[in-house]
Structure 1
Amino acid sequence: ADREGRPRHGRSLGTNTVRLVQAASHEGQPWAGRWYVQPLTYHLEGQPEAEHLLRATVVYLPSLPLAHGRLLCALELAATSEAPGMLLGPAAHPRHGWAEADVTPYLVLGNVSVGSLALRHVCVRAGRVRGHDAPVAPSHPFLLLYLNDTQAGLTPPAAEPRRHRRDTRMLAHDLPGYLREQGGEKSDCSLRPFPVSFAQLGWDHWIIAPHRYNPRYCKGTCPRLLRYDYHAPNHAVVQSFVHQLVDANVPRPSCVPYRYSPISVLMIERDGGILYKEYENMIAESCTCR
């Protein structure tokens, strides 16, 4: 997405929501000689019913440079009473050093979502190991859930965490002056800019990025003869003629948005997790008369 949250063309994720899930911490010493073995448990209980899982991947670093040699890592599906452990191969070539392992089949069994995912993060130090070399703990892999959220609308979280407070009255105070600066003269219906920050809306305690947003709006008088580029419905054309020729008490068609585009938002959830969402119909792209 760009600085105002517009998704970049040709870079669709194929979904409107991505949730990042961190592994629960486990006690114990993961290092034993050259080997590093860390159990990982990802808890998935309490996912909203409106979110439908499309794909799930675990992102990890397959190789980490050390002072002497390298740390080579892989992921294993933890063994259970019903199935043995299994090595998870990367789903694609590593990008920027990161690899992804597809774990979708292990989260959806017979159209039923499981409540947790248990893995093992296994690494080995390759190369010469010296006695004074301090072991380096690799970054914990994280789980990405690609979801289709069927619940429409931009809804702030109902509770904390808050990052910092802002004066939510700023926008209401500045709006009249801003609109006056845009000009009060009557003109043809057209699209107008209105950049605003999420801090002014009082939403910056849960929206990480983007910082600014330009929803834009439509303003102006609908012309007597509605041109083709207004995409006005037939009803609006008839209403315009009725206002001019039959009864002036019937109002002219109104200037309103016609086409919208989405924005991408990175936000903090109530439990402190990170969530990426694409919200439809957030930026007005053109106007019409109705």
Structure 2
Amino acid sequence: MRSRVVSAQLWVYVRGHAYFGNSSREALPVSVDVMRLVKPGAASTCPPARLDSPALSPVVSGKASQPLGLGGWIGVDVERLVTEWFKHPKDNCGIVIRGYDADGHQVIVIDHEEEDGAYVPFIEVHTADNRKHRTKRTMGLNCDENSEETRCCRYPLTVDFEEFGWDWIIAPKKYEANYCAGECPYVFLQKYPHTHIVALANKHATTGPCCAPRKMSAISMLYFDNSYNIIYGLLPGMVVDRCGCS
């Protein structure tokens, strides 16, 4: 509830022409409906998730093109819905997804067991923090390429996966990783006072406190696995949020 939704995309895997034995090379339309489960009246519990439930409220209805081959992912914008969930989380009873082609086949994969859950629907949410931040002594310094700061500081660094030749990563193609650099003078932004005490006591030590990440965060990623399935994962320790001396 302290965060603001910047974007929210529902990803669903749609079975393609070849899955149903259709060799057509034409783009055939499929209908995709996203419906929200709503608590009836003053009920405190959520209703069962059934397609014939009277507690369903339409969120998004539209047409999409059925992928060629065995299938592929399509995205549906659900930012407004997720924003309401963030404001009133107790009203989040989930959603029901329905997708059919012209022949009445259910084309959207909803089975958690299919392909070990690799094709299960998921919502990708990007948020921004609405809280007011207060400056603290241990928050760390942020610098840029033109900064004259010599002390331990966090600098911007953009990592471009395409430059590495990592074409198996679908999204993001690049991200802000950041890095730490600078000197560590007397007890400056130190994680442990013990680090400085040991440096003073051990006169034969050749190294002192070094500038290193103090806080790191994860990024979400879409990528192909070895079997060319599209996987969604959360990779920890990919972004430097704060630097300090340790």
TM-score between the two structures when normalised by the length of structure 1: 0.42
Structure with higher RCO (Cα < 8 A, 6+ apart): 1
Larger Rg: 1
